[in-house]
Structure 1
Amino acid sequence: MTSDVNTEHTAAPQTRPESKFRSYLRLGKLDVPDYYIGILVVASAVLLPSAAVEPRTIPMLLLFLVGEVCTVVAMVALDDVTGYRDGSDIANYGPNDPLRKKLRKPLVAGTLTTQEALRFAWVTAVAGALLWAAAIAVAPHRPMWTVVLIAATYAISLQYSYGIKLSYHGFQEAFLVALGVALVFGPYGLATGHFSGFLLVQAVLFGLGPLMFGVYSNTNDVEGDRAVGRPTVAALTSARGNAIFIGALSVGEFLLGAVASVAGVAPWWFALLVLPATALRARQYYLGFVRHDIMRARRLGFTVHRVYVALLVVANLLVGVIG
């Protein structure tokens, strides 16, 4: 693995003036809300029937959401610092890749320095810790497994590609799913105090969303990741092996909902309800590995994830209304 070397002198020149505020928004990837919309899944599962909702549930959900935003923003900012220092972002967003916009990487574009990025990351990390602690304090329930899950999620998120660098030791794909699961199941546990098999299925389906646009990004970034020793599945396997892996994930996503419906963990109609998202997932695979348009497939992945979230919300509302 290539050691971290500050390569600030190799950053691409800024292509147009941009305010610091806009650059910080870009650093935090605040235009990508795909982890944050998990709170809609949780809210739809716990706010019906309304007569049974405890008064502290809504303040807890709001505190958890804002803390989640701060924590994820810190995580992705630290990821950009590491990607800039080891050269992978410069390679992946460099002049030979016109599909990428350098301004989305403020360190590569030269609109922020590494010191500014690190300061921003640690301020938002502290804010995330305080807000999640407040969410736990006001929560209607505080089962130990939920508190431990939230604390572990916070600590591990900051180590994703900084510190011990989990994503540089072969855990990137597993982490992306686990983070999504925790961001759904954590606030659900605080709201209800109990475990739900159906919510676990939903949480895994939610976590698969970021993974399924992440693996297409990794497919595009394979050369840069190999150059710095970042062991994604795409970097470790052949192109055919990577295609098989992503195909297996796509099929597994469908089977999770189908098996849950057959086994009675989810309502019998759940697998039918999510069929539109399944069809879009198949379309994503076709674009990426039959048409070989990886970046278009990656963009479609955001749509698939958001459709899944909408369908999960509908499922929870139906359960809340009809039982």
Structure 2
Amino acid sequence: MPAVITYADRRIDWPQKVAGLAQLAKLRVYYHAYEWLLAVLLLRMQHFWPVGAVTSLVLFLVAMFAVQAAACAIDDVMGFRDGSDAENYRKNELSARPRKLLPKPLLTGLLSERDGVTFAVAAALTATAAAVGSLLVVQAPKASPLGYLAVLACATQYSWGLKLSYRPGGLEFVIVAVNAATIILPYWWIAHRVTAAAVIMAAVVCVWTLLVVSYGNAADRDGDEACGRRTFAVLAGPRVYRAILVVLWLASLTLNLLPFALGLLRPVGVLFVVPLLVAQVVQLRWGVLHGDARRAMGIGMRCYDLGGLGFAAAILLT
């Protein structure tokens, strides 16, 4: 007989609890792997590959997924406490167990609030240990720990402490800091400098993520407003926010083409990025013209797949 954990009138066995922890960590959001892959390929392309690079990079990838797990767990705990998740995931339910509820283990009862807090602390400690190992293996620059600690602090303050995501521009700041760092930090630690190619690729992936999150904010506008989360989707009127989404799309289009225009990647490599460009047009159509933010958000996740693989192929071609 498996061990059983009981919350209220629900009986949760250990396999269910493990599944709940995976949901809490948002392990289905694997996009840091693409950013990490692009950093690895850029390092190889530009011949920065010292002894210990492989071990350092693997540990860094573990650290960034642990940072994500800690930040997501804290966000779910705070969303559970202030009721914003209940509001956002309660609406438009077409069945007794709508699919949208599945990634929220605190709402479905798979995990308790205490489980969420404990997991967040464990993930933050794991992230720190893995990052320290990554730094030591390659003798990274002395200022490297400060860069990592800034990113960890920023991520964990997303919904807790400073509650950056509750402030205008705070959410976008966290997104840019964490996603850019996933390329910039390992590149800097190993190469001991940062090149234009690394900076531009970091900007590219940041805008991809901003597009996903911005459509998500549009979908969650009512719940965020009810709990005092002052996102741009809450503060701006629908017309202004649609303009913001169009600006983000234009920024992404420009950045997607910039490495090829500057000669950092072979121009013919842009062919690998064409599927991404097409998908982002489709995303714009559904999100801005038809107002289906949830669908546009889902398309944005597929854009990350197309972009990650497309730019990886373009770098390998260079």
Q: Tell me the TM-score normalized by structure 2.
A: 0.89
User: What percent identity do the matched residue pairs reach?
Assistant: 27
Question: Following the alignment from structure 1 to structure 2, what is the Cα–Cα distance between the partners of residues 242 and 16?
Answer: 42
Q: Residue 13 of structure 1: CA displacement?
A: 8.9
Q: Deviations over 1:69-121 (max 9, x none)?
A: 11110110000011111110000111544465212111111221111100011
Q: Residue 310 of structure 1: CA displacement?
A: 0.9
Q: What is the 5 A alignment of 1:144-293?
A: 144=142, 146-170=144-168, 171-264=170-263, 267-269=266-268, 273-293=272-292
Question: Following the alignment from structure 1 to structure 2, what is the Cα–Cα distance between the partners of residues 31 and 13?
Answer: 28
Query: Is 1:64 the equivalent of 2:60?
Result: yes
Q: Residue 233 of structure 1: CA displacement?
A: 1.3
Change (3 A) 1:279 1:176: same
Q: Residue 31 of structure 1: CA displacement?
A: 1.5
Contact 1:173 1:232 in 2 (8 A): no
Q: What amino acid sits opposite 1:143 in the alignment?
A: P
Q: What is the 5 A alignment of 1:18-29?
A: 19-29=16-26
Aligned to 1:315: 314
Question: Following the alignment from structure 1 to structure 2, what is the Cα–Cα distance between the partners of residues 269 and 149?
Answer: 35
Q: Residue 128 of structure 1: CA displacement?
A: 0.6
Change (3 A) 1:283 1:96: closer
Question: Following the alignment from structure 2 to structure 1, what is the Cα–Cα distance between the partners of residues 67 and 255?
Answer: 29
- Say what the alpha-carbon RMSD is for the aligned residues: 2.5
Q: Residue 267 of structure 1: CA displacement?
A: 4.7
Where has structure 1 moved over 6 Å in runs of 4 or more?
A: 11-18
Aligned to 1:53: 49
Q: Residue 144 of structure 1: CA displacement?
A: 4.3
Question: Following the alignment from structure 2 to structure 1, what is the Cα–Cα distance between the partners of residues 11 and 205?
Answer: 36
Question: Following the alignment from structure 2 to structure 1, what is the Cα–Cα distance between the partners of residues 159 and 122?
Answer: 17
Question: Following the alignment from structure 1 to structure 2, what is the Cα–Cα distance between the partners of residues 290 and 127?
Answer: 43
Aligned to 1:123: 122
Partner residue of 2:88 out of 82, 85, 92:
92
Q: What is the 5 A alignment of 1:8-23?
A: 19-23=16-20
Aligned to 2:107: 108
Aligned to 2:38: 41
Question: Following the alignment from structure 1 to structure 2, what is the Cα–Cα distance between the partners of residues 289 and 12?
Answer: 43
Contact 1:176 1:208 in 2 (8 A): no
Stretch moving more, 159-168 or 144-153: 144-153
Give the total of aligned pairs: 307
Stretch moving more, 158-167 or 268-277: 268-277
Aligned to 1:7: none
Aligned to 2:70: 74
Contact 1:201 1:256 in 2 (8 A): yes
